[in-house]
A = this chain, B = another copy of it.
Amino acid sequence: MKIGTYKNIQPESFFNGMVLKRVLIGPKDNSPTFAMRLFTLKPGASTPYHSHDWEHEVFVVDGKIKVKSTDGETVVEKGAFIFVQPNEEHQFINIGDKLAHFICVVPNRGEQ
């Protein structure tokens, strides 16, 4: 069993520190199937509008996030979940004035 708290995990930094990614549980822990990551977006920060052939299963832990896809735009907050199917275009934008945090789970091949 591995137990920890996200603050003790060294983040990877993207876009001049506007987006942080922490791999909480993943292939380096011998995760058999999937990896759990925590993303932190500073106010105004966004992930790229992109797609890939694996799915995301997302849960919003804190903050106010606009989700963009070919379906349009939806604003979500703490307690929301988002299922991004394989090959579906998606983007997450922090439209609040505080840090936004969300869990994003991917199959192992999405986190090597």
Q: Chain A interface (Cβ within 8 Å of chain B)?
A: 1-7, 24-25, 29-36, 38, 54-55, 57, 59, 61, 67, 69, 71, 74, 76, 79-86, 88, 90, 103, 105, 107
Contacts and interface: CB of A to CB of B under 8 A. Distances in A.
Contacts of A36: 57, 59, 81, 105
B84 A32 contact: no
Nearest to A75: B3
A24 B105 CA distance: 13
Nearest to A33: B107
Given A57-B25, A103-B103, A105-B36, A4 B90 contact: no
Q: Name A's interface SS.
A: strand
A5 B83 contact: no
Contacts of A83: 1-3, 25, 29, 31
Contacts of A5: 76, 79-81
Given A81-B24, A83-B25, A103-B103, A32 B55 contact: yes
